[in-house]
Structure 1
């Protein structure tokens, strides 16, 4: 069972890379306006994986020239939210329930977020009108290290009729 978002992304994923990346990012940012203000780019999006990029540009920098902590948090939320959203039933509403971020060290350069959802989680989402789950995400900077640890718990509820 695929939802409306997954069907759209599956069609866009058949396009050439540069066009696909632009259109998938544009579609996401048209629905999640705040994420669009950071300049997040969706590099890859499937029903079980999302890879997003956030360039270290002036508009997202902190006072020491790194990506601001909140911009990194938006990146983590966006990566988990979009892969979660690809799997939520059309008659349900996705909601971020808990966001825990531990900053381990200064971020260096651009950031890449990789979020995954398991087959078991996909099954749970398709068979229930309500629930919650932890969506895994890793954030890497240009050094290849993970400067922060993120735990994003998403919930879903049935839409009001």
Structure 2
């Protein structure tokens, strides 16, 4: 089991454990701290976090800024990748394609998902792996959706 998944399982069982995990995750990749992610769920092929709507992540319209949304999607994707990738592989983000579909007027839940066969059907030399991502308002409206492409190769 990956370090991220092990840490999630240990901390999420504690009072305030999800908050503890979220702070530790953001320390590993400090830029993620700018959105104050609150992880909700991490398991193989799925990760969710919440970006709190607060002034620090607002744009000129008073909604959550598009790049803050992308930051949340990338954090969710990273947790998913770490929780899912086989021990003999490594990953790096290759690109992101997103569409902004509605105003982000509340806290935003960022979700990253893959299918198990995506990880097992990769060529031995490595390959491209698309991770589906979306951000959802409190009322269920999708405000951003897209794909983050990973380059997955054998660990050397």
TM-score when normalising by structure 1? 0.84
2:151 aligned with 1:152: no
Gaps of 5+ in 1: none
State the SS of the aligned residue for 1:64. coil
Instruction: Give the 3 Å change call, closer, same or farther, for CA 153–91 of structure 1 in structure 2.
Output: same
Instruction: State the Cα distance separating 1:128 from its structure 2 match.
Output: 4.5
**Paired residues for 1:74-153 under 5 Å:** 74-90=71-87, 92-124=89-121, 128=124, 130-153=126-149
Gaps of 5+ in 2: none
Q: Is the 8 A contact 1:76 1:150 kept in 2?
A: no
Counterpart of 2:25? 28
Q: Which whole-Å CA distance do the structure 1 matches of 2:107 and 2:147 have between them? A: 20
Instruction: State the Cα distance separating 1:75 from its structure 2 match.
Output: 0.8
CA shift digits 1:68-92 (9 cap, x unpaired)? 0100011111111210121224454
- What is the aligned-residue RMSD (CA, Å)? 2.2
Q: Which whole-Å CA distance do the structure 1 matches of 2:85 and 2:129 have between them? A: 12
Instruction: State the Cα distance separating 1:19 from its structure 2 match.
Output: 2.4
Aligned residue pairs total 156
Instruction: State the Cα distance separating 1:48 from its structure 2 match.
Output: 2.6
Q: Is the 8 A contact 2:134 2:143 kept in 1?
A: no
Q: Which whole-Å CA distance do the structure 2 matches of 1:12 and 1:110 have between them? A: 23
Q: Which whole-Å CA distance do the structure 1 matches of 2:121 and 2:20 have between them? A: 29
Q: Is the 8 A contact 1:92 1:129 kept in 2?
A: no
Q: Is the 8 A contact 2:124 2:154 kept in 1?
A: no
Counterpart of 1:12? 11
State the SS of the aligned residue for 1:86. helix
TM-score when normalising by structure 2? 0.86
